[in-house]
Amino acid sequence: MKVLISLGKSFYETFPDLGSWLRREGIEVVEQTGYDQEPPRELMRELVKDVDVYVVGVDRIDREILEAASALKLIVKHGVGVDNIDLDCAKEKGIAVTFARGCNAQSVAELAIALMLSVCRGIPWQSTEVRQGAWNLYMGCELNKKTLGLIGYGNIGSRVAKIAKAFGMEVIAFDPYIGKEALQEAGIRPGTMEEVLRQADFVSLHAPAAKENQKLIDQKALTHMKPTAYLINTARGELVDEEALQKALREGKLRGAALDVFWREPPDTRLTGLAGTVCTPHLGACTIDSARKLSEMSFENIMNFKKHQPLKNRLV
């Protein structure tokens, strides 16, 4: 059996054990770790042509790649979001697909809270000014007694809520797949999406990048938000209409935004260069702890596949 591991250079250098674990099991391993973003398509077409298992991070696995992967039987997503994988084509070709449910949830949740604190206290630009010799005090706000609005209350959103409540925040959430009773039992106030946007001091996005969610936060949605509110996105860039967000920030209709994900990565500097923005390079899962859990899940599923045992978190 031959396994291709194609993960971000920085991510895999931090925790490279997956390849070693597989080799100890007598499995042939090819590692593509030369790029932090998607590697060249020509390289990937060459690497996938004779592998049985493809462990993938951010690579775009579309029909072109799947047509080149004549021996492929299993795709193991080394993460949660599978919007970079053509699931319909994989199903058509009889290729199983798994993902690492929950493995990076804590890391992303903690980043969401860190971004809230960073943007509302002006930490990034205050740090830059101090390093440059300036001493200008930025008047921010506390999280305590503020309202956090969650769009999505799954593995990550629920963890964000738990941390936020420890800060003394009130939490209101919208999730069409979670019943009101379940939210109320967790001490969360259920609301419609419009109610969440209107009432929240911080709106944090935790919805999947499904087609129906593209530009979920558009110009209309942004007009519902308080001019003193902050938008936090650690989910997917496609959830936000970036042109509308730029306009809202420029016109002072939103106090700030903290973004870890973008439509195009690296992103458009017209957005990242605006005052009141904190931007990070899609590092929600980038902790040693998350990398270990993701590798353990990937290894377990590859071994299950080798032993003809049921796969965990199978999508196709």
Q: List, by residue number, the catalytic residues.
A: 236, 265, 282
Strand partners, 148: 171, 202
Residue 135 is classified by DSSP as: -
AA identity, residue 310:
P
105-121 and 123-131 are packed helices; what angle lies between their axes, rounded to 10 degrees? 60
Cβ contacts of 175 within 8 Å, gap of 6 or more: 150, 151, 152, 153, 154, 157, 183, 207
Distance CA 237, CA 83 (A): 12
Distance CA 106, CA 156 (A): 7
Taking only Cα atoms into account, the Rg of the chain, rounded to an integer number of angstroms, comes to 21
Q: Name the E strands within 21-89.
A: 28-32, 53-56, 74-77
Distance CA 283, CA 79 (A): 12
